[in-house]
Amino acid sequence: MYHFFVPEGPSGEGEFTITGPDVNHIRNVLRMKPGERVVVSDGRDRDWYCVITDVQKEAVLLRAEAESPAAELPAELILYQGLPKGDKMEWILQKAVELGASRIVPVAMKRSVVKLDPKREKAKAARWQAVSESAAKQSGRGKIPQVSPVLSMAEAVREARELDLALLPYENARGMQATAEALAALRPGMRVGIFIGPEGGFEPEEAEALEKAGARVLSLGRRILRTETAGLAALALCMTVLECRAEQAAGTSGPEAGGAGTFGPF
């Protein structure tokens, strides 16, 4: 079922109006007609299952038939991604949105090869936000994750100090035990930052600054992961823990519910 966003929410009692570029997509690309069904989200916490009642030149009118909580994680996961080369950022954005990131922050680090001037940065920002919206629709997200303006490393470190939990995949002699301990601290309602270096990784002083800001160093295994893989691996770990805890809290996991029960040591 096709998925669209209506940030202003219902326009009346159970009624929605889609405007903007989605109208052309519905009319001329999908060629949808009255009576067909779609899902709409308000970009916050609700999804509505709607039937199209009218397709106009500049608006599509819908009537809600049912609603449900949006498919969002119970914690805010923020990916701080060191700027990678080429078009890797678009791929990272797409997959991070699918895995539940609520915000993606490009960070200019010392080993970042890409250097964006203000004009290029503005164009990239618009493109990246469009990629986030498309991925949110495809994956059934209840909100469109924000792609922030590019931060300096110093700005990213300052934000790390304000997080409930900051995770730093980096060289760690304690191996996966440190990862298990960090994930055990993950709780619903937290603001969690995942800090990933660019190609070539962090400069030692950058990792040290994040540690001093409270970041917990962890391992993603004994294999060397590319920058476009590391953040997604960390997001997948956090997503799994949060989803399992949400099921446990709702009483929908465990042998009686046909689920897997408690997720390992977490």
CATH code at 244?
3.40.1280.10
Q: What is the pLDDT of residues 184-230, one digit of tens each?
A: 999 989 999 999 999 989 999 999 999 999 999 999 988 889 999 99
User: pLDDT tier at 3 (50, 70, 90 boundaries)?
Assistant: confident
On whether residue 242 sits in a domain, the answer given is yes
Q: How many CA atoms lie within 13 A of 140 on its CB side?
A: 11
Provide the pLDDT confidence category of residue 84 given band limits of 50, 70 and 90: very high
Identify the pLDDT of residue 121: 83
Of the candidates 36, 69, 102, which is a domain's last residue?
A: 69
Q: Decide: pTM greater than 0.85.
A: no
Whether 149 and 54 map to the same domain: the answer is no
Statement to judge: residues 220 and 174 lie in one domain: yes
Statement: residue 261 has pLDDT above 50: no
pLDDT at 253: 55
Same domain flag for 14 and 146: no
Query: 18, 43, 69: which is the final residue of a domain?
Result: 69
Position 262 confidence tier, pLDDT thresholds 50, 70, 90: very low
Q: What is the pLDDT of residue 206?
A: 96
Confidence of residue 266 (pLDDT cuts 50, 70, 90): low
Same domain, 156 and 237: yes
More confident residue, 217 or 87: 217
Taking only the tens place, the pLDDT of each residue in 32-56 is 999 999 998 877 777 889 999 999 9
Structural domains counted in the chain: 2
Residues 194 and 107 in one domain: yes
Does some domain include residue 62? yes
Domain extent, residue 21, equals: 3-69
Q: What is the average pLDDT value for the chain, to the nearest integer?
A: 88
State yes or no: pLDDT of 82 exceeds 50.
yes
Say whether pLDDT at 140 is over 70: yes
In a domain, 258, yes or no: no
At residue 255, the pLDDT reads 45
